[in-house]
Structure 1
Amino acid sequence: MNKSSFHPDDFFKKACAFEASLILVAALLGWIANINPFADLNFSESAIACGVIGTIPLFLMFLLLEQIQAEPVIKIKNMLFQTLGPSLHRYHWTDLFILAAIAGLSEELLFRGVIQPWMESSWGIPAALIGSNIIFGLVHAVTPLYAVLAALVGIYLSLSLDYGGDRNLLIPIIIHGLYDFLAFVALMRAYRASLLTGSGQ
């Protein structure tokens, strides 16, 4: 894939609109399943702290993958670099923060706020943990390895829901959004550096 799948000039608006539309999908599925996606969303200082701290292992994993030279990992890195790099490098970090925040909120409302509890009500917690995150992995399946990694990240996010004993959707929302932001910034910086050295696509 040699060119971006997104037009760089309108990437931000389209990406934000797409991610925000998932909130409507969550609301619709929640209405069908009689589940309020916002029911377990509780604001507290401890939840914010857990979310920030919980982002660290995921970002360390991201940095570790950056050092791995195995072909499947290189394929993922090249794909992200070539598809997102030309778009992300045009924006300020505040734009990337907004996009990441919307993605964290919308995807967590959908997967951890509706799909997982919906499955829990029918199949129980262990099956819902696995089943909901297989779906999470599949919708991120840009490559087979990426789908597996996304599913594992999804399991991590699902487990963070009940950290401390009380279910709180704010924790995975913060982890997801903050991780996406850090990954976006890292990708943006790498692409800008490639332009300076003449190696950008």
Structure 2
Amino acid sequence: MALGKGRKSGISPNAALLFQGGIGVVGLVAILVFGIPVLLIGPGLWPSLIYGILGAVATYGLLLLLTRVPRLFPENLERQMQGLYDFAYSYSPLVLILLSLLAGVGEELLFRGAIQGWLMAYTDPVTAVLAASVLFGLVHYVSFTYFLVATGLGLILGAAYALSESLALVMIWHAVYDMIALYCLLRFPRWFGVKIVEPAANRPHE
């Protein structure tokens, strides 16, 4: 992503990485403390890797198509995309990759591994996937439309975890999805109605 220097997000790279990594720590602690069974590999590492990448590409492509359907969502996502663009633009590509990886591992440990896994022990799979997905959407709430998008993504990841029995698969899926989303947002901001930051000499390299 060869981009110029943008506006500062107000959150240092270290703080952003620490926060995202902390989510994974919370999920891991919950799994260990409550003895939640985790289905880690399922069909195997290579199938998890391949299907995770393919799933991420397909999911992002589907979302991109849905956002082009007039009046499908109760409000447009331009304001949220502008905020995400401003946030992401102030970080180096390395930091964004690390954030995506930590989000994939950490959030899936918490929402699919811990929360969905715990609910599976006390409810049926549909209820577990739905409840964990709604919580996932609420944590990402910045608007009702964004909540719907995040909940929808949670449903896809939750169903993928339940069907594949591979937490690794949904971790890869989530991380690659975030990488694709950030790349497209920064590389093609006009797709999302984002106002482009005026380029400066160089992008920061934290």
Under TM normalisation by the shorter chain, which class is it?
0.7 to 0.9
Q: Hey, what does 2:176 align to over in structure 1?
A: 178
Q: How many Å separate the matches in 1 of 2:162 and 2:67?
A: 30
The C-alpha deviation readout for 1:55-87, integer Å capped at 9, x for no partner, is 12211133225535648442x222231x23223
TM-score (norm 2): 0.79
User: Which structure ranks higher in relative contact order (CA pairs < 8 Å, sequence separation ≥ 6)?
Assistant: 2
Shift in Å, 1:176: 0.6
Partner of 1:104: 104
Name 2:16's counterpart in structure 1: 15
Contact 2:24/2:106, CA 8 A, preserved across alignment: yes
Q: How many residues align?
A: 186
Q: In structure 2, what residue type is equivalent to 1:195? A: V
Distance 1:23-1:51 versus aligned 2 partners, 3 A rule = same
What are the ranges of 5 or more consecutive residues in structure 2 without an aligned counterpart?
1-6, 200-206
Gap runs ≥5 in structure 1: none
C-alpha change, 1:5 and 1:117, in structure 2 (3 Å) is farther
Counterpart of 1:77?
Answer: 78
Q: Give the partner amino acid of 1:40.
A: L
SS of 1:161's equivalent in the other structure is helix
1:96-175 mapped onto 2 (5 Å cutoff): 96-163=96-163, 166-175=164-173
For the Cα contact (< 8 Å) 1:59–1:182, is it kept in 2? yes
Q: Give, as a single letter, the amino acid of the residue that structure 2 aligns with 1:185.
A: Y
| Residue in 1 that maps onto 2:203 | none
Structure 1 residue 56 corresponds to structure 2 residue 57 = yes
The whole-number CA distance in structure 1 between the counterparts of 2:27 and 2:198 is 42
Asked if 2 retains the 8 angstrom alpha-carbon contact of 1:65 and 1:73, the reply is no
Is 1:194 aligned to residue 201 of structure 2? Answer: no
Structure 1 Cα separation of the partners of residues 34 and 55 of structure 2: 30
Kept after mapping to 2: 8 A contact 1:140/1:147: yes
Q: Give the Å deviation of 1:179.
A: 0.7
Relative to structure 2, which stretch is displaced further, 138-147 or 56-65?
Answer: 56-65
Three-state SS of the structure 1 residue aligned to 2:183 is: helix
Matched, 1:29 2:27: no
Q: Quick one: structure 1 residues 138 and 5, their matched pair in 2 at CA, closer, same or farther if it must change by over 3 Å?
A: farther
Q: What's the Cα RMSD here?
A: 2.6
Name whichever structure is richer in helix by fraction: 1
| Conserved 8 A contact 2:9-2:90 | no
